[in-house]
Amino acid sequence: MGYGEATGPLPAITGLPADWWDPAWQAAQSPGAAGLEPVICRPGDAAASAQAAGQPEMPSPSWRTVLGTTLGLWTSRHLSWLRPSPGRPSRLAARPPSRRLSWRRLAAAALGAGLVAVAVGAAGLALSLASGSAVPLPVRPAPIPAPSGPAVRPASLTTAAQAARPVWVSVPAIGVRTSLVNLGLNRNGTLQVPASTAVAGWFTGSPRPGMVGSAVIAGHVDSRAGPGIFFWLRTLRPGDRVYVGRADGTMAVFTVTRVRMYAKDQFPTAAVYGPVPDAELRLITCGGVFDRSLGSYLSNVVVFARLTG
């Protein structure tokens, strides 16, 4: 939003504090008077100018003077009952000197207590923010050995009529080996998730791993108890291997081709679940920002992999 220049006379200003000053206001109140120009100088310029003019250099005020001036300004602005009104002395001036001194001490004590409270609050806030941001991430699991056993070759897809159901999945790069449960769809059409965060699940509406199409395996990223089975899924890189064991003792070996994160309201359903001409795998978990008001993450992490045997 922009503001235009004022074209009319300046409005009347009343009730300004004693140390207020504005060049525009002075020019309006004193037409034709020479205005004061702001001066910007480097440290030491003011002292050099004073010495050149033959004026003695003013010593820097002590901290007691600064504190007393600050206390006086704060008291005059915030303790209105201490300021005298025109034609009427202040309540403080009307009191005996001994009581006047006690009131000043009381005002100083009140100001000091306020400053201490502000300092303590700021320190507590800084400490809480620092402690909150210093919470370490869980340690990434060490890679595990790749499983051994007879692997399904891509060439066998042309003759295999039906693959055995998947029973486990292993991702050595992130230390994952877990059994698989069956997953269906919720009533609203969304993919079910495993009841436990320690296991992953195969979506029964997708092809069995090793068959033509996009096989889908999903798992939790975390819970209140800690990291889930797919917590480190987002750290996979192209070339990492994924092994899916099947009930007949064989396994399908997939190679990661890409890792993507999608907002849940822009999830590419066709790219993840849609038909493909070869055997592929999708590993899915949650990711991105956690919305506490909804109690869920706002994005999904999807790992794309292709059968390589």
144-157 tens-digit pLDDT:
999 988 888 775 55
237-296 tens-digit pLDDT:
999 999 999 999 999 999 999 999 999 999 999 999 999 999 999 999 999 999 988 888
DSSP letters spanning 123-146: HHHHHHHHHHHTPPPPPPPPP-PP
32-65 tens-digit pLDDT:
544 444 443 444 444 444 455 555 556 666 766 7
Superfamily of domain 151-307: Sortase (2.40.260.10)
Other C-beta atoms within 10 Å of 144: how many? 14
CA distance 295 to 85: 59
Which pLDDT score, from 0 to 100, does residue 136 have? 72
Question: Can you read off the two tokens belonging to residue 226?
Answer: 């800690």
Which pLDDT score, from 0 to 100, does residue 127 have? 58
pLDDT of residue 223 exceeding 80: yes
* Rounded (5°) CA angle 201-299-230: 35
Higher pLDDT, 146 or 132: 146
Mean of the pLDDT values across residues 176-182? 97
pLDDT of residue 172 exceeding 70: yes
Which pLDDT score, from 0 to 100, does residue 294 have? 84
Question: For the chain, where are the alpha helices, taking DSSP H only?
Answer: 23-29, 45-52, 63-78, 97-133, 269-273
The residue type found at 91 is: R
Domain ranges of the chain: 63-117, 151-307
Kindly tell me the number of DSSP H helices and DSSP E strands found in the chain.
Answer: 5, 11
CA distance 82 to 86: 13
CA distance 6 to 4: 6
Q: Of 137, 187, 148, 169, nearest to 285 (Cα)?
A: 169
Cβ neighbours of residue 128 under 8 Å, at least 6 residues apart?
A: none
